[in-house]
């Protein structure tokens, strides 16, 4: 049995009875946590637990390690005299065999230093394609990139979501242990109804931010006037001007309904009543919403920008479109027989490729050989 420490300040939002918004990296980390735990591994999670409420019943057996107080100290200087020493002490006290981080950033450099000093194997998951190419600079500085790359270079193993990520890692970090392994999905409930008549709308699910391309969501909803759209999401911080502009325009469309933030136990019922899950993102790694939708037999509508390893076209899991006009054309030519095939393929694909228990065992076997 090995001991794993997951470093993720946002994952607490998934563990609480009163959930809060969290990103896909936290959802993915939770899949690994459940799988590794059920495989008999010793699991610890370092996260922000201050001023939070009670945990869900199924999360009570997770060993929580408190992260530093985010309000304490002087900006930037606090990393030197408070946060870094605090993290070091907590990791040393927990004494894991492996430390997992789900998003590479400049803090990866610090975690890499700590793991090297304490002889801990540092695992880094690449959560999004843009983190490895020049799109990174839209949100981060050159100095941030410098320390991020040093962090990546200090890892024991890099976990990639798709071939694009793996190819960049192999090229820019030759000799690094790296593997492409799908996202694990842990689903508590079963909503595998095949009754297509119960599906009333096209679903969109995500956080309102630039990456999610709200402009294209508006264009599609405007063109597909006969279809109902239900939008589940919430802002993560302040919206950029483009996102806010098209959110306001979406709210004026009569075929669009905003239903707000969904807790985890509300996501599958929401998707199970949808005809399709619509993805409009500029970029992703491998969207967890794809897995959640396919697990309830809901096919995908996604742009050419988000079709990881071409799985949607390769396995006939939905429709891939160039732009809103292209989607409109393909959507209206879709037959009921073609839709049923997509629905069945979606469920079969996620069951065969993304089961959290199977993938966790695969990860354990991989670590044992490297």
pLDDT band at 223 (very low <50, low <70, confident <90, very high): very high
Is the distance from CB of 29 to CB of 44 less than 8 angstroms?
no
120 is a domain residue: yes
Parent domain of 172: 3-184+355-369
Instruction: Return the residue matching tokens 């009163």.
Output: 18
Looking at the structure of the chain, the number of domains it has is 2
Are both 16 and 117 inside the same structural domain?
yes
pLDDT of residue 209: 87
Average pLDDT of the chain, as a whole number? 92
Are both 217 and 121 inside the same structural domain?
no
Cross-strand pairs, 55: 16
191 is a domain residue: no
23 is a domain residue: yes
pLDDT digits (tens, 9 = 90+) for 99-129: 999 999 999 999 999 999 999 999 999 999 9
Q: What share of the chain is helix, strand, coil (3-state, %, to 5)?
A: 45, 20, 35
CA separation for the pair 186, 54 (Å, rounded): 21
pLDDT digits (tens, 9 = 90+) for 342-360: 999 999 999 899 999 999 9
Is the distance from CB of 96 to CB of 121 less than 8 angstroms?
no
Are both 45 and 171 inside the same structural domain?
yes
189 is a domain residue: no
Are both 274 and 173 inside the same structural domain?
no
| pLDDT higher than 90, residue 59 | no
pLDDT digits (tens, 9 = 90+) for 290-318: 999 999 999 999 999 899 899 999 999 99
Residue scoring higher pLDDT (116 or 192): 116
28 CB-near residues (< 8 Å, 6+ apart): 102, 125, 127, 183, 184, 288
Are both 344 and 201 inside the same structural domain?
yes
Are both 345 and 360 inside the same structural domain?
no
Nearest 10 degrees: CA dihedral of 242, 284, 273, 343?
140
| pLDDT higher than 80, residue 187 | no
Question: What's the DSSP call for residue 355?
Answer: B
Q: Quote the longest CA-to-CA distance of the chain.
A: 64
Are both 125 and 209 inside the same structural domain?
no
Please tell me the pTM assigned to this model.
0.86
CA separation for the pair 179, 171 (Å, rounded): 14
CA separation for the pair 39, 58 (Å, rounded): 16
């Amino acid at each position: 049995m090995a001991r794993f420490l997951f470093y993720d300040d946002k994952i607490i939002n998934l563990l609480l009875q009163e959930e809060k918004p969290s990103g896909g990296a936290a959802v993915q980390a939770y899949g690994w946590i459940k799988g590794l735990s059920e495989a008999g591994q010793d699991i610890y999670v370092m996260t922000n637990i201050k001023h939070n409420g009670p945990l869900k019943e199924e999360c009570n057996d997770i060993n929580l390690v408190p992260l530093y107080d985010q309000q304490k100290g002087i900006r930037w200087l606090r990393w030197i005299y408070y946060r870094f020493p605090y993290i070091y002490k907590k990791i040393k006290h927990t004494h894991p065999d492996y430390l997992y981080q789900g998003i590479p950033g400049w803090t990866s450099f610090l975690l890499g230093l700590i793991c090297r000093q304490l002889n801990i194997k540092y695992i880094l998951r690449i959560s999004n394609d843009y983190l490895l190419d020049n799109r990174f600079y839209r949100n981060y500085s050159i100095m941030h990139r410098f320390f991020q790359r040093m962090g990546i270079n200090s890892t024991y193993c890099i976990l990639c979501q798709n071939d694009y990520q793996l190819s960049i890692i192999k090229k820019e970090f030759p000799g690094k242990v790296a593997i492409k392994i799908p996202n694990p999905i842990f689903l508590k409930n079963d909503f595998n109804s095949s009754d297509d008549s119960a599906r009333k709308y096209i679903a969109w699910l995500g956080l309102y931010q630039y990456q999610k391309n709200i402009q294209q969501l508006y264009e599609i909803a405007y063109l597909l006037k006969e279809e109902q759209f239900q939008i589940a999401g919430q802002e993560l911080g302040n919206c950029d001007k483009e996102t806010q502009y098209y959110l306001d325009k979406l709210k004026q469309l009569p075929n669009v309904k905003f239903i707000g933030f969904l807790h985890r136990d509300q996501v599958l019922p929401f998707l199970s009543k949808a005809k399709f899950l619509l993805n409009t993102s500029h970029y992703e790694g491998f969207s967890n919403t794809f897995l959640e939708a396919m697990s309830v037999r809901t096919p995908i509508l996604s742009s050419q920008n988000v079709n990881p390893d071409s799985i949607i076209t390769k396995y006939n899991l939905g429709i891939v479109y160039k732009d809103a006009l292209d989607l409109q054309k393909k959507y209206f030519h879709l037959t009921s027989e073609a839709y049923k095939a997509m629905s069945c393929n979606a469920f079969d694909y996620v069951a065969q490729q993304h089961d959290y228990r199977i993938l966790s065992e695969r990860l354990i076997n991989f670590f044992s050989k490297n």
